[in-house]
Amino acid sequence: MQHVSPIREPLVTGGKTYHDITEDVCRQVEAKPNARWAAALAVALVGLAIFIYSVYRTLWYGIGEWGLNKTVGWAWDITNFVWWVGIGHAGTLISAILLLFRQKWRTSINRAAEAMTIFAVICAAMFPVLHMGRPWLAYWVLPLPNTFGSLWVNFNSPLLWDVFAISTYFSVSLVFWYIGLIPDFATIRDRATGPIARRAYAFLSFGWTGSAKAWSRYETVSLILAGLATPLVLSVHTIVSMDFATSVIPGWHTTIFPPYFVAGAIFSGFAMVLTLMIITRKVFFLENYITLEHVESMNKVIILTGSIVGIAYTTEFFIAWYSGVEYEQYAFINRAFGPYWWAYWSMMTCNVITPQLFWFRKIRRSLTATFIISIFVNIGMWFERFVIIVTSLHRDFLPSSWAMFSPTIIDIGVYVGTIGLFFTLFLLFAKFFPVVNMAEVKAILKSSSEVKHHHGAAATMHATDKDLNSNTHRNE
Partner 1 sequence: MQDRIKYWKGIEELENAPEFEKHAHNEFPEFLPVNEVEGGESSANGKTRRRDFLKLLGFSMAAVSLASCEAPVRKAIPYLNKPVDVEPGVANWYASTFYLNGDYNSILVKTREGRPIKIEPNPSSGLTPLGTSPKAQGALLGLYDTNRLRYPLIAGKEAKWEDVDKQIKSRLANVSGKVAFVSSTIISPSTKKLIDEFGARFSNFEHVTYDANSASGLLQANGGVIPGYDFSKANIIVSINADFLGTWVAPVPFAKQYIQTRKVDADNPSMSRHYQFETALSLTGSNADVRVPIKPSDEAAVVTALYNAITGQGAASGSAADAKVLAAAVKDLKANQGKALVVSGSNDPGVQAMVKAINSALGADGATIDTAAPYYVKQGNDAAMIRLIDEMNAGSVGAVFFYNANPVYNHPLSAKVVSGLNKVGLKVSFADRVEETAKFADFVTPDHHYLESWNDFEPKKGFLSLSQPAISPIFTTRQMQDSLLVWSDSKTDFYEYIRSNWRSVASGDFNKFWEKAVHDGVLENGSSLLKVTTTTASASTSVKKIQPAAIEAVLYEKVSIGAGEFINNPWLQELPDPVSKATWGNYVAMPRLMAEEMQVVQGDVLKVTFANNESIELPALIQPGQANGTVAIAMGYGRDLEAMPVAKGSGANAFPIATVADNTVLYTSGVKLEKTNATSPIAQTQTHHTIMDRIVVQESTLAKYKEDPKGVTEYIRLATHEGPAKPATISLWDDYEYKNHHWGMVIDLNSCIGCGSCTMSCNVENNIPVVGKAEVLNRREMHWMRIDRYYSAKEHEEKDYAEMEHPADNPSVIFQPMLCQHCNHAPCETVCPVAATMHSSEGINQMVYNRCVGTRYCANNCPYKVRRFNWFAYANNEKFGFNEPMNTDLGKMVLNPDVTVRGRGVMEKCSFCVQRVQLGKLEAKRENRRPKDGEIVTACAQSCPTEAIVFGDMKDPESRISKVLARQQGERAFHVLEELNTQPNVTYLTKIRNLA
Window 217 to 276, contacts with partner 1 (CB under 8 A): 243, 246-249
Minimal distance in Å, beta carbon 215 to partner 1? 43
31 Cβ contact list (under 8 Å, min separation 6): none
Query: What's the closest the beta carbon of residue 312 comes to partner 1, in angstroms?
Result: 22
Among 1, 35, 151, 457, binds partner 1 (CB under 8 A): 151
Site string for partner 1, 97-136 (x = CB under 8 A): -------------------------------x--xxxxx-
Distance CA 256, CA 388 (A): 13
Nearer to partner 1 (CB atom), residue 69 or residue 447: 69
Q: Is 385 in the site for partner 1 (CB under 8 A)?
A: no
Residue 154 within binding range of partner 1, rule CB under 8 A: yes
Helix axis angle, 409-432 relative to 110-130, nearest 10°? 150
Question: Distance between CA 225 and CA 179 in Å, rounded?
Answer: 9
Choose one: 107-115, 149-157, 268-276, 378-386; the region binding partner 1 (CB under 8 A): 149-157
C-alpha to C-alpha distance for 410 and 57, rounded to whole angstroms: 8
Q: At what angle do helices 367-386 and 292-323 cross, to 10 degrees?
A: 30
Which residue, 122 or 132, has its beta carbon nearer to partner 1?
132
The answer to the question of residue 156 lying near partner 1 (CB under 8 A) is: yes
Contacts of 433 (CB under 8 A, 6+ apart): 29, 111, 115, 181, 184, 185
Shortest spacing between CB 245 and partner 1, in angstroms: 12
Instruction: State the CB neighbour count (10 A cutoff) for residue 234.
Output: 18
Kindly state the smallest distance separating residue 409's Cβ from partner 1, in Å. Answer: 14
Residue pair 130/55 in contact by the 8 Å Cβ criterion: yes
- Closest residue by Cα to residue 20 from 285, 212, 281, 201: 285
d(CA 427, CA 408): 29
DSSP state, residue 211:
-
Q: Which region among 166-174, 293-301, 303-311, 331-339 touches partner 1 (by CB under 8 A)?
A: 331-339
Query: What residue type is assigned to position 466 of the chain?
Result: K
Pick the stretch among 287-295, 329-337, 358-366, 416-424 that binds partner 1 (CB under 8 A).
Answer: 329-337
Among 145, 195, 399, 456, binds partner 1 (CB under 8 A): 399
Alpha helices in 192-211 (DSSP H): 195-204
- Does 176 sit near partner 1 (CB under 8 A)? no
The crossing angle, in degrees rounded to 10, of helices 367-386 and 76-92 is 140
Please tell me whether residue 396 binds partner 1 under the rule CB under 8 A: yes
Is 411 a binder of partner 1 (CB under 8 A)?
no
DSSP state of 32: P
Q: Which is nearer to partner 1, 38 or 403 (CB)?
A: 403
Only segment of 12-20, 97-105, 233-241, 397-405 that touches partner 1 (CB under 8 A): 397-405
Pick one of 20, 30, 52, 140: the residue that binds partner 1 (CB under 8 A).
Answer: 140
Q: Name the DSSP class of 175.
A: H
Letters for 60-79 (x = contact with partner 1 by CB under 8 A, - = none) are -xxxx--xxxxx-xx-----
The SS3 assignment for 137 reads helix
Q: How distant, in Å, are the alpha carbons of 81, 350, 434 from that of 373?
A: 22, 8, 27
Site string for partner 1, 15-44 (x = CB under 8 A): ------------------------------
Does an H or E element contain 173, and which? helix 158-191
Question: What minimum distance in Å lies between the beta carbon of 121 and partner 1?
Answer: 19
In the complex, which residues of this chain contact partner 1 (CB under 8 A)? 61-64, 67-71, 73-74, 128, 131-135, 137-138, 140-141, 151-154, 156-160, 163, 243, 246-249, 326-327, 330, 333-334, 337, 393, 395-403
